[in-house]
Amino acid sequence: MKKKLIKIWGVGLAAVLMLTLVFAAVPVSAAVPLVMYNEKPPSAVTFQVIPQATYPGLDIVDMAVSSDGQTIYAACHDNAVN
Protein backbone atom coordinates (compact mmCIF):
# COMPACT_ATOMS: atom_id res chain seq x y z
CA MET A 1 0.00 0.00 0.00
CA LYS A 2 2.86 2.37 0.85
CA LYS A 3 4.51 1.90 -2.57
CA LYS A 4 1.18 2.45 -4.30
CA LEU A 5 0.67 5.74 -2.41
CA ILE A 6 4.17 6.93 -3.35
CA LYS A 7 3.48 6.18 -7.02
CA ILE A 8 0.19 8.11 -6.87
CA TRP A 9 1.94 11.08 -5.26
CA GLY A 10 4.66 10.92 -7.94
CA VAL A 11 2.13 10.98 -10.77
CA GLY A 12 0.17 13.75 -9.06
CA LEU A 13 3.29 15.85 -8.56
CA ALA A 14 4.29 15.39 -12.21
CA ALA A 15 0.79 16.43 -13.32
CA VAL A 16 0.87 19.55 -11.12
CA LEU A 17 4.30 20.53 -12.48
CA MET A 18 3.08 20.10 -16.07
CA LEU A 19 0.01 22.25 -15.37
CA THR A 20 2.14 25.03 -13.88
CA LEU A 21 4.29 25.03 -17.03
CA VAL A 22 1.16 25.33 -19.20
CA PHE A 23 -0.19 28.26 -17.18
CA ALA A 24 3.22 29.97 -17.11
CA ALA A 25 3.39 29.85 -20.91
CA VAL A 26 0.16 31.83 -21.37
CA PRO A 27 1.11 35.37 -22.51
CA VAL A 28 -0.02 38.34 -20.49
CA SER A 29 -1.61 41.18 -22.42
CA ALA A 30 -0.87 44.74 -21.39
CA ALA A 31 -3.73 47.15 -20.75
CA VAL A 32 -2.17 49.80 -23.00
CA PRO A 33 0.22 48.89 -25.83
CA LEU A 34 3.74 50.21 -25.37
CA VAL A 35 4.90 52.77 -27.90
CA MET A 36 8.36 54.20 -28.57
CA TYR A 37 8.94 57.60 -30.18
CA ASN A 38 12.04 59.40 -31.38
CA GLU A 39 12.16 62.82 -29.77
CA LYS A 40 14.31 65.85 -30.41
CA PRO A 41 17.29 66.44 -28.12
CA PRO A 42 16.78 68.82 -25.19
CA SER A 43 16.56 72.47 -26.09
CA ALA A 44 19.71 74.54 -25.45
CA VAL A 45 17.50 77.36 -24.18
CA THR A 46 15.26 75.49 -21.70
CA PHE A 47 17.25 72.23 -21.27
CA GLN A 48 13.94 70.34 -21.22
CA VAL A 49 13.36 66.98 -22.88
CA ILE A 50 9.57 67.40 -22.67
CA PRO A 51 8.49 71.06 -22.69
CA GLN A 52 5.38 71.47 -20.52
CA ALA A 53 3.92 74.02 -22.94
CA THR A 54 3.91 71.41 -25.73
CA TYR A 55 2.98 68.35 -23.63
CA PRO A 56 1.01 69.47 -20.55
CA GLY A 57 0.64 66.78 -17.89
CA LEU A 58 3.38 64.52 -19.26
CA ASP A 59 5.94 63.46 -16.64
CA ILE A 60 9.13 61.42 -17.01
CA VAL A 61 8.95 58.70 -14.37
CA ASP A 62 12.12 56.76 -15.29
CA MET A 63 15.14 57.42 -17.46
CA ALA A 64 18.04 55.29 -18.71
CA VAL A 65 21.13 56.60 -20.49
CA SER A 66 23.57 54.44 -22.46
CA SER A 67 27.21 54.29 -21.41
CA ASP A 68 28.31 56.39 -24.39
CA GLY A 69 25.62 59.02 -23.72
CA GLN A 70 24.20 58.78 -27.24
CA THR A 71 20.95 56.98 -26.38
CA ILE A 72 18.40 58.00 -23.77
CA TYR A 73 15.26 56.06 -22.91
CA ALA A 74 12.55 57.83 -20.92
CA ALA A 75 9.41 56.25 -19.50
CA CYS A 76 6.61 58.81 -19.41
CA HIS A 77 3.28 59.00 -17.64
CA ASP A 78 0.45 61.13 -18.98
CA ASN A 79 -1.35 62.75 -16.05
CA ALA A 80 -3.98 64.24 -18.36
CA VAL A 81 -5.36 60.75 -19.11
CA ASN A 82 -5.85 59.65 -15.49
What is the per-residue pLDDT across 44-79, written as a single tens digit (0 to 9) for each?
A: 666 666 666 666 777 778 888 888 888 888 787 777
4: confidence class by pLDDT, cuts 50, 70, 90: confident
Q: Could you give the maximum distance between any two Cα atoms of the chain, in Å?
A: 83
Per-residue model confidence (pLDDT) at position 53? 65
Distance set, CA 30 to CA 13, 33, 34, 35, 61 (Å): 32, 6, 8, 12, 18
Closest CA to 58 of 49, 67, 68, 45: 49
Whole-prediction pTM value?
0.38
